[in-house]
Amino acid sequence: MSTLISIGNARLKVIGLNPQRLTDQGEARFPGHPTFKGMHYQKTGLGEQTRRLEIMTVPHILGGLDALGWLLQHFKNQDEVTYFRLAANLAGHLEGSVVIRDHSIDEDRIHPWSGRGRILTAEIGLLFVETTP
């Protein structure tokens, strides 16, 4: 099965840890100071560019815990990793280098034999430290 998104060693796929939603957020800086005619704003560059991923798996059926383990390892090591995304023509697009800024993991309906949730959802916050044009 082809990889939809690659974050370092973590491969997010259709079967496995599957991306459900992506949210981009960015800012541009325009500090202002008053003049006699009103306000004057100056462009001073871009601020942080972030992406939030909502991911989901049913680990007992689809797997995906290996990819989640890689994401958590990259988070703990504060690794700067490449962010690679599948494009429309099945070729990939390197979007830049990211660090995992934060994460939250929810497990629902705990399985009595494994102790893991039957449904696992997570949110991963990425910070672009270098972008590719």
Among all chains, which residue has been given the structure tokens 């462009």?
Answer: 43
pTM over 0.85: no
Average pLDDT of every residue of the chain: 88
Three-point CA angle 96, 98, 104, nearest 5°: 140
Beta-carbon count within 10 A of 118 CB:
14
pLDDT at 133: 60
pLDDT confidence bin for 125, thresholds 50/70/90: very high
Query: Which one has a higher pLDDT value, 133 or 26?
Result: 26
Alpha carbon distance 118, 107 (integer Å): 7
**Strand blocks (E) in the chain:** 3-7, 10-13, 18-28, 32-35, 38-41, 46-57, 81-86, 92-110, 117-131
Q: How many CA atoms lie within 13 A of 91 on its CB side?
A: 3
